[in-house]
A and B are shown apart, each in its own frame.
Chain A
Amino acid sequence: MVSTVAVEKPSTADELARRLHDAASQKLAVVPVGGGRASGMGGAPERLDVELHTTRLDRVIEHSQADMVVSVEAGITLEALQHELAKSAQFLPLDPFSSPGHTIGGLLATGWTGPLRLRFGSPRDFLIGIRVALPDGTLASGGGRVVKNVSGYDMMKLHYGALGSLGVIVAASFKVFPKPLRDVTVSSEGGWDAADQALTMPVAPSALEIFSDGRVLARYTGSGDAVDRVVRDLGWPVEDHSIWERHSGRAPARWARIAAPRSALRGLVEGLPRGAGWWASPGIGVAHWAIASDTPSVKEVRARTETAGGSLVMMAAPDDFMRDVGAWGTPPPTIDIMRRLKHAFDPDHVLNPGRFVV
């Protein structure tokens, strides 16, 4: 066994694929690393021989403003990409927590999202092409650079949220969006009732967050008249936009993501231990819990969440806490199919061993 961890920082996709293949052919365990902002996710690696960093793959490969399509290398940070897109009044509607510093590859691998998902969906919906290095040293692409494409299997869905268990994402193409004509954020102290009110107005908010102290933030984007009218009708005070930047900076040392059918979310959140700190996107069905209680209470919340058809996934926690609670919870009933896919792409189980469910 190798006792020290080798740190590889390849500067091209080809080089990354070679390094991955080198490691795989010696059956060395490889952990892909992007910005490290989501590195707390998943179980502790069973083995770790090589850290394969994508951070030097940080180029914008092509941004076609007219087509509203951008292709980037996986190691570019979300902020660097947004900066590039902003030059032509475009953006990627992705505002993950634990920002800044996420890489695009890391966000795709972990499936981390943020409040804007309410209006724009997740990268699952706007990722249009992907390039992945596989343990056999090949680079395999799927999708393309067009916004609508059913040419072959949807390999984007295969790798999105797979935590690098099937391959290392080296490049991605996205459909991007025009900056909205109007973008206004309002707030209320009215708790769930206020959240429901905002969610059922004729104009749906693009983001709606509720916090454990009863505060609600609603963001409206779109045509000027419609946004102005809904803001007027709600009558809530307008907030400065910087509030979203502060919000996406949240990254508790010990936290979990509760994802559930929307109708079940409120009950689950209200069942958190008394005084718990949390924030939720009720329109999406996702809540984040900054855990201040012990592991049995987390297990109890997870059991209730799973009964409701959802999941509780640990986002970060100290090792012993993570080990006790388990990163993912009950494996899905289709785990056998997932394992077969894992085996087809990574037969020696060198990628992120022990971290994901497969």
Chain B
Amino acid sequence: MGLPNQVAEELRRIVGRAAVIDSANDLRIFERDGSIEGAMPDAVVLASTTEHVAGVIKVAAKHKIPVVPRGAGTGLSGGAVTIRGGIALQVTRMRRILNIDPVAQTAIVEPGVVNQELSLVAAQQGLFYAPDPSSQKACTIGGNAAENSGGPHCLYYGVTTNHVLGMEIVLADGSVHWVSGDAPDRVGLDLCGVLVGSEGTLCAITKIKVRLLRIPPSIATMLAAFPSIETASQAVSAVIGHGIVPAALEMMDNVTVGAVEAHYHAGYPTDAGAVLLVEVDGTADTTRELTAAIGKILTENHGYAMREAQTPAERELLWAGRKGAIGALGRIKPNYYLHDGVVPRSRLPQVLSAVGEIGEHYKLPVANVFHAGDGNLHPNILFDMRDRDVMQQVESAGEEMLRAVVEMGGALSGEHGIGLEKSAFMPWIYSEDDLGAMHRVKDVFDPNGILNPGKIFPDPSRKAVHLAGRTGMAIEAKWW
């Protein structure tokens, strides 16, 4: 396919010759994100400035070419996949931290700044950026804002939208605006709130002003083993039912613990049916008191082999196991398919048992590692893409798991976004009128539908066609 030469030339004039990629081999690198779907862009543009982003979008608008803003490509729902071709607008060269204000406790960053880098730099001022997706070593703040990403510590601190104070955005006509800012209670509609989490379908993000928090003086991280997922789930509800909202409350099932322990040797109990990782922070008084209270509750709920990280290094190791869990699952199968449905917390045991049954039915191993305190599941369906026909099975299993989530009053995604993979399921949770209202928003911001088309909203024409093509493509590409 490729872009018409004239369009490619226009793009080169904006960003420079070397910053437009359109050779088939190079484009292949941008075919995918962290999800299991892929599609080739016609061109990749490496933007370095807001003016670049605005200029590229103006060109796309003029020629009505799809444009898909892209950060590190770690997203798990296909948000950065150019499913209708067009331009992948790569912002990872925009990676300056423009300002950290230690008094106001804010930072202004470009969208390509890596999540963890911001916290590392802010730490020099005793501050940190709270949302911490497991991919934080690679994922960008721009991508986080587009997806409204979460992370383990969002249980207490809230997700990305709770920490974004304002953004510089580029609209579908190439115009540049600031939305929101420092002051609370701004006059008018909360555009910033609507744009965070809009998955690149309403605007491109070129600067983000975020809230930073003071690093708590004391952090305590505990690990406890449980005989089963059910008992661990019960313990989660009991902790929160006691009026304690820990900073993080994560669960890993037996399959995950086995893989993690083999990889990280973090001292996770491999005989356990499930493991809880609990973290509390605050002053030393707070953590001491909460640790004791939580320890008691966990013990009462069949927790055993409890231990508390004694050093920062030990704490790091416990977290490395959790945040690296999905990578460690590669020891079991080379590929995973990860959903992130959310259920009301009290339904966790039920939904996890349904997830287990679905895995057994399809003879696919499933590893659960998730944000238990939020009721945010992460069932990883493990498979080998080289096995013929497995993709269809994986797809069906994933769909059934989401179905179970929705039947228990849940939602399709807690933090990964709808993107491509779940757009067909949106009618499970929203009526035509609900989706119609969302579409009005889309039409206001992007009347010609050039910004990340084919995402969020169901596209009845797409699914069957694409599925067939995808399986073939993945095998042909010998991705793994």
By a beta-carbon cutoff of 8 Å, the part of chain A in contact with chain B is: 64, 66-69, 89, 111, 113, 121-122, 124-125, 132, 134, 138-142, 144-158, 160-162, 165-166, 177-181, 202-203, 222-226, 229-230, 257, 259-263, 284-286, 309-311, 313, 328-335, 337-338, 340-341, 344-345, 357-358
Contact = CB atoms under 8 A, between A and B. Distances in A.
B217 interface: yes
Contacts of B448: none
B38 interface: no
16 contacts: A144-B411, A148-B342, A150-B150, A154-B148, A156-B193, A157-B190, A158-B189, A178-B240, A203-B286, A226-B283, A259-B186, A262-B182, A311-B183, A332-B188, A338-B191, A341-B440
B371 interface: yes
Contacts of A335: 188
Contacts of B382: none
| Chain A binding surface SS class | loop
Contacts of A166: 189
Nearest to A112: B185
Contact of B186 (A122, A139, A332, A341): A332
Contact of A160 (B191, B193, B433): B193
B345 A67 contact: yes
Given A64-B346, A151-B426, A203-B283, A332 B187 contact: yes
Interface in B242-291: 242-245, 282-283, 285-286, 288-290
Contacts of A178: 240-245
Interface residues of B, number: 84
A341 B289 contact: no
A121 B344 contact: no
Given A64-B344, A67-B344, A157 B286 contact: no
Contacts of B304: none
B98 interface: no
A224 B240 CA distance: 16
B346 A150 contact: no
Interface in B367-414: 371, 374-376, 409-414
A154 B159 contact: no
Contacts of B285: 223, 225-226, 229
B411 A284 contact: no
Interface in B152-174: 154, 158-159, 161-162, 171
B434 to A, nearest CB: 5
B296 interface: no
B344 A154 contact: no
B13 to A, nearest CB: 28
Contacts of B184: 122, 259, 284-286
Interface stretch (B45-53, B114-122, B354-362, B415-423): B415-423
A357 B183 contact: no
Given A223-B285, A344-B443, A148 B374 contact: yes
Given A226-B286, A262-B104, A334-B179, A358 B188 contact: yes
B196 interface: yes
A316 to B, nearest CB: 16
Contact of B190 (A66, A124, A286, A344): A124
B319 interface: no
Q: Which 9 A-B residue pairings sit nearest by Cβ, starting from the closest?
A: A157-B193, A178-B243, A140-B437, A261-B182, A259-B185, A66-B346, A67-B344, A225-B285, A138-B433
Nearest to A342: B189
B434 A66 contact: no
A68 B440 contact: no
B187 A154 contact: no
B198 A138 contact: no
A70 B29 CA distance: 46
A152 B426 contact: yes
B190 A158 contact: yes
B182 A121 contact: no
Interface string B83-113: 0000000000000000000011000000000
A125 B211 CA distance: 14
A66 B237 contact: yes
B198 to A, nearest CB: 6
Given A148-B342, A178-B240, A334-B179, 17 more contacts: A66-B345, A89-B243, A122-B184, A144-B409, A146-B410, A147-B375, A151-B422, A154-B148, A161-B185, A166-B189, A178-B245, A181-B243, A225-B289, A226-B283, A329-B187, A334-B188, A345-B440
Contacts of A224: 289
Given A202-B283, A263-B103, A338-B189, A153 B158 contact: no
Contact of A202 (B148, B202, B217): B217
B429 interface: yes
Interface in B425-442: 426, 429-431, 433-438, 440-442
B289 A148 contact: no
A334 B103 CA distance: 28
Contact of A154 (B197, B217, B282): B197
Given A124-B193, A158-B189, A140 B416 contact: no
Interface in B213-250: 217, 237, 240-245
A252 to B, nearest CB: 18
Contacts of A157: 161, 190, 192-194, 196
Contacts of B103: 263
B430 A152 contact: yes
Contact of A140 (B162, B178, B197, B433): B433
B188 A155 contact: no
B343 interface: yes
B444 interface: yes
Contact of B411 (A111, A149, A202): A149
B459 to A, nearest CB: 14
A283 to B, nearest CB: 11
A148 B194 CA distance: 16
A111 B444 CA distance: 24
Contacts of B242: 178
B210 interface: no
A151 B413 contact: yes
A139 B430 CA distance: 11
B31 interface: no
B444 A341 contact: yes
A186 to B, nearest CB: 17
Contacts of B345: 66-68, 147
Nearest to A158: B194
B187 A311 contact: yes
B161 A69 contact: no
A334 B177 contact: yes
A248 B430 CA distance: 37
A22 to B, nearest CB: 18
A358 B240 contact: no
Given A203-B283, A229-B285, A138 B104 contact: no
Nearest to B440: A344
Most buried by A among B237, B240, B426, B438: B438
A340 B171 CA distance: 13
A205 to B, nearest CB: 13
B187 A357 contact: yes
